[in-house]
Amino acid sequence: MEIIYFYPEEEASGHVCAAKKHRFGEASLGLRDLGACGEETRVRGCAVPAFYYRKKAWPPEKLSEAMERAFVVADGADDTFLHPQIAAMLTADYTGRWRPDDETVERLAEFLTARYTTGKILRCGEAAVLLGAAKEAERQLEMTWRLLQPYLPKINRLVVFCEEATDTEAKEMLEEYLDDYYYEYGLVPQAEAYEETKDGLRCGRTRCRGLILDYGGRFCYPKIMPDSEAVYIDIVSGEDKERRLHRKTPQIPYVSPLKYLDTMVKNSYDRLVN
């Protein structure tokens, strides 16, 4: 699989970054190889200048068209990933075309889980899952099952946080998915409903260690002891989660697909300089 990552181009001091060089020409976006995420996923980067022409902001449709041309040039690319700044420039009318598929997000999450958490899971044998909106819970439970498969023989404690089920169908769906862990591995997951507060949903007092997978759109303040072995993987690369996590527990590593892709971009420029 090959992914194109669209990210904002850094402006050089005193230099106007524009994609369109001449009034009657087309805006063009360049591609660069960023490297691999695991054995089966390659990433190519596409830097998007801040301006369309001179100091004119990008019309969303023109930006989408330029991205489409870059995607065609990258013959063989399978999917895309957007930096939040690029998504904001596209506006809601065009972001749907460019948001990554669930399979792409899962591939990146699988790679990050293996890269950053394998040792911690094996040592402490614990994992926690923070589900997002109730309407997405079934899809997220399916993804979690696949992500945890390599580690389940070593996991002896699994906590699943979710919105409180308000109907019988939702309760039965959650129970069926959690029962699979018992039937296959003898593991009895602990289901915990988020606590509702004036500031939003929170995880409450149940502690989290080892692998922490977060699918939520907002940070829900899981209880992570400062001295615990834990890695926080933000599947959805949510806005402001890293800052909130580190304000509470600065020792805990924050990992997300977006942060890793940004690191790949930085490393590619460092290689050019060196």
- Could you give all domains of the chain from N- to C-terminal order, each with its CATH number? 2-100 (no CATH), 103-256 (3.40.50)
Q: Are 98 and 82 in contact (CB under 8 A)?
A: yes
Structure confidence by residue, pLDDT tens digits, 68-105: 999 999 888 999 999 999 999 999 889 999 999 999 99
**pLDDT over threshold 80, residue 159:** yes
**pLDDT over threshold 90, residue 166:** no
Mean pLDDT of 52-71: 90
**pLDDT over threshold 70, residue 23:** no
DSSP code of 9? P
Mean pLDDT of 35-51: 91
Mean pLDDT of the chain: 89
**pLDDT over threshold 80, residue 270:** no
What six digits make up the tokens of 186? 């003898």
**pLDDT over threshold 60, residue 2:** yes
Percentage of the chain modeled with pLDDT above 90: 66
**pLDDT over threshold 60, residue 273:** no
Q: Which pLDDT belongs to residue 234?
A: 97
The residue ranges of DSSP E strands in the chain, in sequence order, are 2-8, 18-20, 32-36, 42-48, 51-53, 79-82, 126-130, 157-162, 190-193, 195-197, 200-202, 210-214, 230-234, 254-255
Q: Which residue has the higher pLDDT, 57 or 142?
A: 142
Strand order in the sheet with 2-8: 32-36, 42-48, 2-8, 79-82
Structure confidence by residue, pLDDT tens digits, 183-222: 999 999 999 999 999 888 999 899 999 999 999 999 999 9
**pLDDT over threshold 70, residue 42:** yes
Q: Are 194 and 161 in contact (CB under 8 A)?
A: yes
